[in-house]
Amino acid sequence: DVEVDTETGQVKVLKLVCAKDIGRAINPMAVEGQIEGGAQMGLGYALSEEVVVKEGKVMNPNFVDYRLFTSADMPEIENILIESNDPEGPFGAKGIGEMGSSCVAAAVTNAIYDAVGVRLTQAPMTPERVLAALDALEK
């Protein structure tokens, strides 16, 4: 679920549901932590993280200018752990890593489309890009 401010272009993710087939959850709390960490990375990619280069120089080389998502920026997350048996994995487990990061941007852009009817095709989905898409929709 997202909220889109059509005056500023600001996108706020209200809730993120992450359903993952994780094989056997040997340590469910660690699995949830990995999923939430991946979701945080995915939200950063989707909404804020972009290396800006002008004339060969990186314009945002530090964490003041290159905005990472923090725990304070995170929406409500609902994790759904789907357990199956992976005969190839140790004790039936599958690798978890930050697998949640890859699908978040697609989920966010679809939620933006559902909210305001514009399809964004470039990440991050900054307020400027949202406003440009809204302007193009009106023309």
For the annotated catalytic residues, the residue numbers are 98
| CA–CA distance, 13 with 10 (Å, rounded to integer) | 10
Residue 45 DSSP class: H
Locate 11 and state its tokens.
């996108």
Cα dihedral across residues 117, 118, 124, 127: positive or negative: negative
Locate 113 and state its tokens.
């489309």
